[in-house]
Every structure is written in C-alpha cells, then in structure tokens.
Structure 1
Amino acid sequence: MATNNHSSNKIIINNSEELKTCVVLGGRGLIGRSLVARLLKLGNWIVRVADSPLSIQLDELDNDDNSLLSQALASGQASYFHVDVRNKAQIIEAVEGAVVVFYTDTLDSCTHDFYSSYTIIVQGARNVINACRECKVKRLIYNSPADIVFEIGRDIHKGDESLPYVGTFGNMLTDLKAQAEALVLCANDIDGLLTCSIRSSNVFGPGDKKLVPLLVHMAKSGWSKFIIGTGKNVCEFTYVENVAYANICAEGALSSRMVSVSGKVFFITNLKPIKFSEFVSALLDGLGYQRPMINLPASGVKYFIFLMKLMHLKIDSTPVHNVLELSSCTRTFNCSSAQKYIGYSPVVSLQEGITLTVESFSYLAQKPFLTRYHDFGEQSKANKLLGNGKVADILLWRDEKKTFTCFLSLVLFYYWFFLCGRTFISSVAKLLLMIIISLSLYGRLPSTRSGVNIRRIPLSYFEISEASVRNIFSAIGYLWNSGCHLTESLAQGEDWNAFLTVVALLYCFKVVIAFASLTLATGVALVLAFNVFFVYEQYEEEIDGAVMSFFIQARKAGGWFFMNLPGPLVSLLPNCRTSSHKQYCTSKTQ
C-alpha cells in the first residue's frame, strides 16, 4: 500500500535530468532516516521509503530534514510504502521498477521471540531477494552489524573482511542477521542482481533507540559513576550519516559492476578508534550526567546480573550484556577495503557526531539534583533513613569529591587506630602530638612567602558555640532516654518484634566477634557504609521486594513452627494474651 501514486518510476526535473528510483527498506529506522535524507539532498533519486508502519509520520526526529521530506512527498520525488517483509507481495509492489534496494534494519526493537525474529530477519531477507530477482532490480545493498564476527570474550584488533562468522554469537538477533547477510551475498550475480553488505560498527546518532538510551538509563540508575572493566579497551563507533554515505558509495561502485565490490562485505567505522569509557564520558558529560570514575570488574558485574535474574528481579539482561561486552573487549576494524573499492571516507567526524547526538537527545539531559527533588517532592528511602542531612549526602555520593575525601580520611584513621600496631591511647596521644606540632609550625610561618600570602587559621575554628554544645548534649540525652525506654519495653515483654530484633543484632555481633577480629569487622563496616546505602537507593523497589518476600516466607515458617508446638507450651506464649492470638491459642490447648 503506497501513500502516493507510483505509476511511473521516473520523473523529469527541468525537462533535462532523469531520476532513478531506489527503495530504502526500513526507511524509518536509524540508518534508513539518514539514508533517505541524503538521497533526497543529492537530487537525482526518486526515493521510495518502505517500512512496517501503516503510514508515514513525520516527527521531531526528522527535524532539519522534515521540510525536505515533506516537500519530496508532495512533489512525488519521495513516496511511502507499508511493507511487511514477511509478505512478498508487498515487497514486490514497493520494489517494482526500482534499480537499487537499500536494505536496512526492519526490526523495531529487541525481542526474545525466536519465531517472530526469524520470520522478519531471515525469511524477510529471502523474500526481499526473491522480489528483487522477479522485479529485475539491479542492485541490493544489505546493512548488517559488525557484531556478526565478534565472539564473546575475544578481542578484535584491526579486523578486516577476512574474519569468518563466529561459532557462538552473543545473542539470537546477531545470529539471525548473520544468516540474512549470508543469503544476500549468496544471491549475488543471479538473474542480474548484484549484492554487497555494509557492516557498520556501533552505529549512533539522532533517533538511536538502543545505545544512547541504554547509556542514559544506566546513568539515571547510578551506573554512570562506574567504569566496567579496565576502561582501556578500544572500540569503533560510527555516526549514522557516515553509514548512509557508505551505502551510497557502495551503490555507485556496484553500478560500475566492479568485481571487487559485488558479493563482498565492507566494514564501516568513523576511522577513529576510541576508548569505550571516553566515548561514554563524552556522551554523558554532554547530557549533564557524571563521567565514569570508579572501576568495577566486568566479571563481578556479570555475576551480579546473574544473581538479580535468579532472584527474579526486573532487569532486561540483553542490552546490559551488550554494554558489558563493549566495555570489556577491544573491537577495532580495518576499513581500507571500503576506502579503496567504494571510495568511502567519513563525512562527519566522531566528535561532531557526538555533539549532534547530544543535541538531539537534549530532552534526556540530567536535571540538577535539587531541581529533581523539587519537581517530584519526594526523597529516596535511603536518604530519609540517613536523616536527609550531610551524612546522607556523603554516603549517597551526592558530592563525589566530598565523599571521597571523607572516605579517605576515615581510612587513614582506621589505619592509625587499628592497623599500626599501637594501643588506642598511644594512637590518640601521637595524633594529638602531630596536630599540635603541625599547628605550631603553621603558626610560625611568615605572613608572606615567595610572594604568596599565607592565611592564618582564625581562633573561631577551634571554638564550639553554646548552641552546638547544647545540641550535642540534647542528642546524648535523647539516645540515653530512647535506650532506657527500649530496655523497659523489653523487660516487660510488650514488644516481641523489638526483642527479636535486638536479639538478632546481638547474635550477629557475637558471630562477627567470634569468627572475625574487631579490626576486620570495623574495616568491613567502613567499606559497606559507603556502598550499601548507595546501592539500596538505586534498587529500592527490587531490594524491598526481595526483603518482603523473605519476611513472608519467614512468617510462614514461623506459623508452621507454632502450629507444631505442644499445646501447653503455646498457652504460655505472651502473644496469647493479645486478641489476635486468643482464638489460636485456645484451639491449640483444646
């Protein structure tokens, strides 16, 4: 079904120049949009945009090219076809009379349905090939990802077109796309159809629905602070407009019937390898998110994701695994064949492509911290648990410099008091002596030295206000009174939940002291304090759900335990005095 009249495959411009007809299959996808815009700008093509939506919808992704595409649709230079690649008749209607078909990705998003993916990717490629042969199409250019030669866990250094398909693919979609590419290449020079394949590496740009949104999602979840792996691995990224240009270069080479092009594959990149962490940093920094700073081992993250899946927590592991592979392996490609045989060279630099991508995703930009909470009017549970104050800001990594300074200071104190081999009193005495000596030497320094003014420490730094002293003693008094009330409540046996909680905490403390020294326990507590609350804030719902499931199971186990207690013992339980347990205890004693 077409939205415009397609009775003629050629029209005349200025009564002198004839336009050739081409079909961009998947023309509303990432590569397809850019390719359509570039073909229209060339001015010597009638462009048929074919894709799965029932009708074409111009949206904000078309932005600069919106008027160009709408004018072309109105003038007949462009037209739209609804094409389901599983329906051969619809493909034939779209490609009839065309001289070239550019075949880009027609699968909208990741899916775990093998049958649906197979019929769209593999069977769809077979239908496209057959339709091109029946309609006497001269050239077919297929777009596949460079992932089809990448084996999990193995690096690729300047890989060229001689690389074979891997034995084990990273995911199902890559496997199916490799099969589709093989079908297209095998169809070369049959019934006059010339084919080739463009293998682009990590395509990004405006309209990207995979890589950039995933990185932003990970940044919003707090993962932007971490570099997964060593951070030294190098990858190749390709701006989408360069992929579109490579398709046009390949068409020109195929039209010359070059033997070195037909039936061949060509790697396409921006010709500028970059560390994965640097690429992510450039994108996230442009959108206002934090640059990665802390290294995490890739194997540890994989085990964490595996544990999350075992706990049946909500996580889509497929795109996360893709990022893990990108961040832990090196993948660089040699594009000399594309440069030599089809005349490819990037038309947009990597830095310019990143800038244009950031501008197109401005709606995903990070809001300032205070603005976010003023907008939503609520704070995280971890923040509330820590008192919504300076302690919360430090332990939740609100200000990384302040948090790291605090953590480093505590580590130094931990070493000074626990690991240096001195007694506590000796450590305190030496620390005070060092402070006094340092302050004395600092006070004897001249006011200026080498032209630099040396600021004096005012006495107010060492003074404690009456209000601060009053607050300190009020806090001590509050803690003391709270402890007394808790002790009284436990002694009277009124709150068994509190009793069991205290007993569990004391028992855990006893176990820690019994099996580990106080020094080790303090060190572990110090490390956990700067990690547990941060992780909890990122996954509050998942962790709360897991804890709730644990308590439900524990409550069921407790009910089973009480059901199997002897009747006289049940009647002595304090809970039998409550109205909620009277009937249960009475039935047990009877």
Structure 2
Amino acid sequence: MADHAGEPESVVESVMEKITDTFHGHDSSSDSDNEKKSSPVSSIKAKIYRLFGRETPMHKVLGGGKPADILLWRDKKVTAGVLGVATGIWILFELLEYHLLTLVCHISILALATLFLWSNASTFVNKSPPKIPEFGLSDDIVLDVASALRVEMNRAFAILREIASGRDLKKFLAVIAGLWFLSILGSCCNFLTLLYISFVVLHTVPVLYEKYEDQVDSFAEKAEMEIKKQYAVFNVKVLSKIPKGPLKDKKVA
C-alpha cells in the first residue's frame, strides 16, 4: 500500500518538474529572442549616419571643458553674458562708429584717473593707499604662445601645399568653393560684422544641432548622397576628360 501511495506522488513530482522545465525553456528562449532582437537594433544604432562622420558627442567635439559648456549653453548666464559683450562691442564699433584707438585711450584715461583719485583720496580719510598690482608677461607664456602659433601656421602651410599639389581634386574644388563663398560674403559686409556673425553662429548652431541632431543628420545623409551622385556625373562628363600628367615628388636635398 505504501508503494502504491508513493507512485501518485512521484508522478505528480515528475509532472511538476516537466512544467517547470518547460517554463524555464520558454524564459531562456524568450531571453535569447530578446537578445537576437536587441542585437540588430544595437547594430542599426551603431550604423546611424552622423554629420562629418562624428562618433563622439558634441561636447567632446568642441573640446570639452568650460569652452564647450559656453558654446552649448550649459551655463546660460555665462553664455548670455559673452554674447551680450560681443553684441555691445559690435554696436559700439559698427553702429556708433567708435574707433578702437579712441576706445583704448578713453578706457586708459578713465582707469588712470580713477586710480589717481583713489590713491590721493585715501590720504584724507587716514587710510593707506591701495596697492596697484604689477602686470607683466613671463617668458614662458610668450614662448608657449609663439610655439602654438608656429605649429598651427606650419600645419596650415602643409594643408595648402597638399591642396595645391593637385593630388586631391575634390578637396581642391571644396576649398575654391569655400574661398569664393567667403569673398562674396566679404563684399556684403566688413570684417567686424563678419566676425560678429561667425561668433553668433558659433554660439547658436552647435546647441541647435545638438537638440535636433537626428533630423539634421537624416537630411544631411540625403544631401550627401545627392552630392555624390552629381559629383559622379560631373567626374564622368568633365573631370575624367582632363589630361593628367604623372606626378613626381621632388627630393629635397
């Protein structure tokens, strides 16, 4: 009787084990299905087109740190203050037609008069005159600035030499088009206005791009594909017919 009573219990236990196995099997299969589904999604996200081949966030592209925070409006008060100062300078020189030398002289007169009156007034109120700090440039700062300028200028000369060598026709045409556009823009406004427009664009376009980067990247991808098609047609009809001589690098002794 004890054996017969134990048989139903063993049957029930085996059935429960099978049920739990089937549930675990479904869970593992569902997990594997989720992994299979998520892997294509992650691969698609990894292949999303970014403008200029960008693979890092905009904050790192702009150099990171405080300058990137200012350009991307991380600190709105500082960015608004910088734009306000730039706008005030532009209004002062462009709209009011103030001159730089006149402004420097007036600021110097005001600063010297203030310090002079403050130093003399302190003797009447029985206070020690204020200590004017000493200003000066150290040799290290001047050498570092000169070295940085030298490196950047040599890099610019190397890029210009590579473009002028005729090895990369696409880059040559892009530089010519950019210079032509700048010449037209320069004929419409003076250098100070152009500098102010560039400053405002630098403080507005990156933050707008960061906010709407998906839409901008999608439009830029379509535009790039269309430009490549047009360039291919132009290459077949025009550029391929231009005779090219062999390019030989000259050995510098």
Residue identity in the other structure for 2:210: E
Greater strand fraction, Structure 1 or Structure 2: 1
Instruction: Show the counterpart of 1:482.
Output: 155
Instruction: Show the counterpart of 1:458.
Output: 133
Report the Cα offset of residue 535 of structure 1: 1.0
Could you tell me the percent identity over the aligned residues? 26
Partners of 1:541 and 1:575 in 2: CA distance: 44
Instruction: Show the counterpart of 2:74.
Output: 398
Instruction: Show the counterpart of 2:198.
Output: 525
Instruction: Show the counterpart of 1:328.
Output: none
Residue identity in the other structure for 2:101: A
Q: Aligned in 2, Cα 1:544/1:431: closer, same or farther, shift over 3 Å?
A: same
**Which residue, 98, 102, 108 being the options, matches 1:430?**
102
Which string of whole-angstrom CA distances, capped at 9 and with x for unpartnered residues, describes residues 49-69 of structure 1? Answer: xxxxxxxxxxxxxxxxxxxxx
Tell me, yes or no, if structure 1 residue 380 matches structure 2 residue 57: yes
Tell me, yes or no, if structure 1 residue 559 matches structure 2 residue 237: no
Tell me, yes or no, if structure 1 residue 441 matches structure 2 residue 118: no
DSSP-derived class of the 1:397 partner: coil
Partners of 1:528 and 1:475 in 2: CA distance: 26
Alpha-carbon contact 1:493-1:574 (below 8 Å) kept: no
Report the Cα offset of residue 414 of structure 1: 1.7
DSSP-derived class of the 1:531 partner: helix
Partners of 1:495 and 1:507 in 2: CA distance: 19
Report the Cα offset of residue 392 of structure 1: 2.0
Residue identity in the other structure for 2:100: V
Which string of whole-angstrom CA distances, capped at 9 and with x for unpartnered residues, describes residues 135-176 of structure 1? Answer: xxxxxxxxxxxxxxxxxxxxxxxxxxxxxxxxxxxxxxxxxx
Gaps of 5+ in 1: 1-377, 578-590
Partners of 1:497 and 1:391 in 2: CA distance: 33
Residue identity in the other structure for 1:546: F
Report the Cα offset of residue 564 of structure 1: 3.5
Report the Cα offset of residue 481 of structure 1: 0.3
Partners of 1:469 and 1:528 in 2: CA distance: 31
Alignment of 1:87-106 (within 5 A): none
Which string of whole-angstrom CA distances, capped at 9 and with x for unpartnered residues, describes residues 66-112 of structure 1? Answer: xxxxxxxxxxxxxxxxxxxxxxxxxxxxxxxxxxxxxxxxxxxxxxx
Q: Aligned in 2, Cα 1:574/1:402: closer, same or farther, shift over 3 Å?
A: farther
Report the Cα offset of residue 544 of structure 1: 2.6
Partners of 1:454 and 1:498 in 2: CA distance: 63
Q: Aligned in 2, Cα 1:543/1:448: closer, same or farther, shift over 3 Å?
A: farther
Which string of whole-angstrom CA distances, capped at 9 and with x for unpartnered residues, describes residues 159-202 of structure 1? Answer: xxxxxxxxxxxxxxxxxxxxxxxxxxxxxxxxxxxxxxxxxxxx
Instruction: Show the counterpart of 1:543.
Output: 216
Which string of whole-angstrom CA distances, capped at 9 and with x for unpartnered residues, describes residues 97-130 of structure 1? Answer: xxxxxxxxxxxxxxxxxxxxxxxxxxxxxxxxxx
DSSP-derived class of the 2:207 partner: helix
Partners of 1:455 and 1:538 in 2: CA distance: 50
Q: Which structure ranks higher in relative contact order (CA pairs < 8 Å, sequence separation ≥ 6)? A: 2
Report the Cα offset of residue 395 of structure 1: 1.7
Alpha-carbon contact 2:71-2:206 (below 8 Å) kept: yes
Residue identity in the other structure for 1:502: V
Report the Cα offset of residue 572 of structure 1: 3.1
Which string of whole-angstrom CA distances, capped at 9 and with x for unpartnered residues, describes residues 4-57 of structure 1? Answer: xxxxxxxxxxxxxxxxxxxxxxxxxxxxxxxxxxxxxxxxxxxxxxxxxxxxxx
After TM superposition, the score normalised by the length of structure 2 is 0.62
Report the aligned-residue RMSD: 3.4
Q: Aligned in 2, Cα 1:487/1:436: closer, same or farther, shift over 3 Å?
A: same
Alignment of 1:1-12 (within 5 A): none
Tell me, yes or no, if structure 1 residue 572 matches structure 2 residue 248: no
Gaps of 5+ in 2: 1-54, 248-253
Q: Runs of at least 4 residues of structure 1 off by over 4 A?
A: 446-450, 453-457, 516-520, 573-577
Partners of 1:433 and 1:470 in 2: CA distance: 29
Tell me, yes or no, if structure 1 residue 473 matches structure 2 residue 146: yes
Residue identity in the other structure for 2:105: L
Report the Cα offset of residue 476 of structure 1: 1.1
Alignment of 1:262-301 (within 5 A): none
Alpha-carbon contact 2:86-2:196 (below 8 Å) kept: no
Partners of 2:227 and 2:246 in 1: CA distance: 20
Residue identity in the other structure for 1:417: F
Alignment of 1:349-388 (within 5 A): 380-381=57-58, 383-388=59-64
Report the Cα offset of residue 554 of structure 1: 0.4
Alignment of 1:487-506 (within 5 A): 487-506=160-179
Q: Aligned in 2, Cα 1:379/1:439: closer, same or farther, shift over 3 Å?
A: farther
Report the Cα offset of residue 509 of structure 1: 0.6
Greater helix fraction, Structure 1 or Structure 2: 2
Alpha-carbon contact 2:71-2:204 (below 8 Å) kept: yes
Partners of 1:515 and 1:437 in 2: CA distance: 36
After TM superposition, the score normalised by the length of structure 1 is 0.29
Residue identity in the other structure for 2:173: L
Alignment of 1:209-288 (within 5 A): none
Report the Cα offset of residue 402 of structure 1: 1.7
Partners of 1:403 and 1:454 in 2: CA distance: 37
Partners of 1:449 and 1:537 in 2: CA distance: 59
Tell me, yes or no, if structure 1 residue 420 matches structure 2 residue 96: yes
Report the Cα offset of residue 473 of structure 1: 0.9
Residue identity in the other structure for 1:468: I
Query: How many aligned positions are there?
Result: 188
Residue identity in the other structure for 1:572: I
Partners of 1:537 and 1:575 in 2: CA distance: 46
Report the Cα offset of residue 556 of structure 1: 0.8
Alpha-carbon contact 1:447-1:454 (below 8 Å) kept: yes
Q: Aligned in 2, Cα 1:516/1:433: closer, same or farther, shift over 3 Å?
A: closer
Which string of whole-angstrom CA distances, capped at 9 and with x for unpartnered residues, describes residues 410-452 of structure 1? Answer: 1222223333225xxxx222122122123213323156999xx
DSSP-derived class of the 1:493 partner: coil
Report the Cα offset of residue 388 of structure 1: 2.1
Which string of whole-angstrom CA distances, capped at 9 and with x for unpartnered residues, describes residues 318-340 of structure 1? Answer: xxxxxxxxxxxxxxxxxxxxxxx
Residue identity in the other structure for 1:380: P
Partners of 2:233 and 2:107 in 1: CA distance: 61
